[in-house]
Amino acid sequence: MTFLKSRKYFILLLLAVGIGVLDQATKWLVLRNFHLHESVHLVPGFFSLTYIRNTGAAFGILADADAAFRVPFFVVFPLIALLAIGAIFHKLGEKDRKLSIALSLVVGGALGNLIDRVRFGYVVDFLDFHWNYAYHFPAFNVADSAICVGVAILMLDMAFAPEEPEAKGEDASASL
């Protein structure tokens, strides 16, 4: 089956490019219309759009690390992760839509944030959930959302996947 006729690769192309475009478009809107740290309260006491620059990983991890380490790390590590995901994706069966979707979401999100890191040296975050403006969940973006949903699908699939049948010739009591 050729690359373009393959359902799993069609899913990958559609979702990864779609997430990447949506992520970059929303970030462009934030960059064009907000000043750094500016907020617009959409649901008072619960949800705001707030322009944040995240120089770290998820939730700002390693944000205070030296830039000489941080910048190359946050460009090289995602590239290695994308190669690993690509290898796993290639081994997926054609009919494994759930895992194709999950990995495609992760790829799209990783690409969206990688574009920011290469362009700016940081990731643009803007979705700001909080409780009465005092307790904030770390700000995030469309790419982060896609990664989290993709990883959640993978985790649920692993947690609820049917058990593998035992290999022939193995005695079930031997594992007790």
Q: Which of 23, 116, 128, 144 is catalytic?
A: 144
DSSP 130: E
Both tokens assigned to 72: 């190359």
125 is catalytic: yes
Q: Which of 96, 125, 128, 157 is catalytic?
A: 125
Q: What is the rounded CA–CA span in Å between residue 166 and residue 159? A: 18
144 is catalytic: yes
Alpha carbon 118 to its chain centroid, in Å, reads 16
How many CB atoms sit inside 10 A of residue 68's CB?
8
Three-state SS sequence of 36-78: CCCEEEEECCCEEEEEEEECCCHHHCCCCCCHHHHHHHHHHHH
Known catalytic residues are 125, 144
